[in-house]
Amino acid sequence: MDVIVFTLSLAVFFLGLALMTNRARRHKDVAFELKPNCLLTRFPMLFVTGPRSMFYFSTYWNLYTPYLAEHGYEVFTLHLPWNKTRLRQQRFEYFLNQQESQNRKFHLVLDTPTFLELQDILRKQSPSVVSITRICDSDLEAGPADLRAFPLPVGEVEMKDTPKGSLFLHLGYRLHKQWVRRKDLNSLSSLGALPDTALENSGLLLERAQTLAEMDLRGS
């Protein structure tokens, strides 16, 4: 009986911790001023969710998507299955087929593990994908497994890192890493989750968006 009570208590504790860490990120308000005269992309920017768990599932890209949207960019998020690579690949292929049938195009934004998961699919050069932006940690430890030249324009945005941040958030993310069992996950900082670097990293992503807008302009 004691074992059952202990197990149930532990499960409730971790569930509560998971919900609180997700809520803590979702409620992070970072004040920022808009950069004037931003050249906007012709095609939307599509952010794809990376591996998720109950400790990290809500608002995957944190400040990045609202930051770009406030600057006038058309931003969407594609929610892939949480952590099974094959399911994520199948869902992405299905999504691409849908977009192709409707002649839709977009600029793709991925984190490192998602890029590695989907690169074989992306090498097929879907007409819907105009460009790929890979969000990287500052150490750039994880590179593409396939060194062949990519058929699409690929840009890497190397995000600033910081050891600071809420112990609560770091604990939740450490449990997330243990849950998904992936060594190539992006850091909390490069995902825009830590206040000390979220605004600066959002600015780096904004610079990339303007580069993509210039590319769209030249191609039109």
**Average pLDDT of the segment spanning 149-154:** 86
Residue range 205-220: mean pLDDT, rounded: 94
Residue predicted with more confidence, 183 or 41 = 41
Tokens of 109: 């934004």
Is residue 188 pLDDT above 80, yes or no? yes
The whole domain housing 144 covers 2-219
* Exposed / middle / buried, residue 2 (Cβ in 10 Å: 0-12, 13-18, 19+): exposed
User: For residue 138, which of 208, 190, 184 has the smallest C-alpha distance?
Assistant: 190
Q: Show contacts of 29-38: CB within 8 Å, 24+ apart.
A: 30/63, 30/195, 30/198, 30/199, 32/67, 32/70, 32/199, 32/202, 34/70, 34/71, 35/71, 35/203, 35/206, 38/71, 38/72, 38/73, 38/206, 38/209, 38/210, 38/213
Rounded mean pLDDT, 146-173: 83
- pLDDT tens-digit series, residues 17-72: 556 666 666 655 677 889 999 999 999 999 999 999 999 999 999 999 999 999 99
Is the per-residue pLDDT at 10 higher than 50?
no
Contacts of residue 188, defined as CB under 8 A and 6 or more positions apart, other chains included, come to 165, 169, 170, 173, 194
pLDDT tens, 123-151?
988 899 999 999 999 876 545 455 567 88
Q: Which of 1-10, 12-21, 185-194, 209-218 has the lowest mean pLDDT?
A: 1-10
Judged against a pLDDT cut of 80, whether residue 16 lies above it is answered with no
The CATH number given to whatever domain includes residue 72 is 3.40.50
pLDDT the model gives residue 209: 98
Q: How far, in Å, CA of 203 to CA of 182, rounded?
A: 28
Q: How much is the pLDDT for 170?
A: 86
Q: Which of 123, 86, 125, 112 is nearest to 182 (CA)?
A: 112
Chain-centre distance for alpha carbon 144: 17
CB-based contact 202:67 (threshold 8 Å): yes
Tokens 């890029």 found at: 115
209, 73 contact by CB (below 8 A):
yes
Q: Residue 217 above 90 pLDDT?
A: yes
Question: Does residue 213 surpass a pLDDT of 60?
Answer: yes
In percent, the amount of the chain with pLDDT more than 70 equals: 83
What is the structure's pLDDT at 80?
Answer: 98
Q: Number of folded domains in the chain?
A: 1
This prediction's pTM: 0.89
pLDDT digits (tens, 9 = 90+) for 92-105: 999 999 999 999 99
